[in-house]
């Protein structure tokens, strides 16, 4: 379980860095379009289209990273709840709650992945 926590911690840092990067690219592109290219010359149409293309790419990558981060977090919670369910004594009330939390996490991961496939 300790190894799984280390892997999740590493993936969490990577996903969070990617989320911040793509979020900054999308927001920065929008601000650039709104403030810099707003009163530009008509020759800036090529720049505007290129900027919109990069904003679209950053937004799609941001959505993908958010879905991947949510999926990995749900998998971690599911694994941890299953581990607790197996380790706790049968009369413990927390064990029953963990037994219900694991399948709920798996269902939510499936819903996220199905929703992601529709995008």
Residue pLDDT, tens place only, 35-77 = 887 776 777 778 888 889 999 999 999 988 888 887 787 777 7
- What residue ranges do the domains of the chain occupy? 2-118
Angstrom distance (rounded) from CA 89 to CA 35: 62
Q: Global pTM?
A: 0.69
> What is the structure's pLDDT at 40?
67
Write out the DSSP string of 12-35: HHHHHHHHHHHHHHHHHHHHIIII
Residue 14 has pLDDT above 60, yes or no: yes
């Amino acid at each position: 379980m300790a190894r799984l926590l280390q892997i999740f911690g590493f993936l969490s840092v990577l996903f969070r860095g990617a989320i911040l990067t793509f979020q900054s690219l999308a927001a920065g592109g929008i601000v650039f379009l709104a403030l810099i290219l707003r009163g530009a010359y008509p020759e800036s149409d090529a720049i505007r289209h290129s900027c919109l293309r990069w904003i679209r790419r950053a937004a799609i990558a941001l959505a993908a990273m958010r879905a991947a981060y949510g999926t990995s977090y749900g998998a971690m919670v599911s694994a941890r709840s299953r581990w607790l369910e197996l380790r706790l004594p049968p009369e413990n009330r927390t064990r029953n709650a963990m037994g219900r939390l694991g399948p709920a996490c798996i269902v939510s991961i499936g819903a996220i992945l199905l929703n992601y496939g529709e995008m």
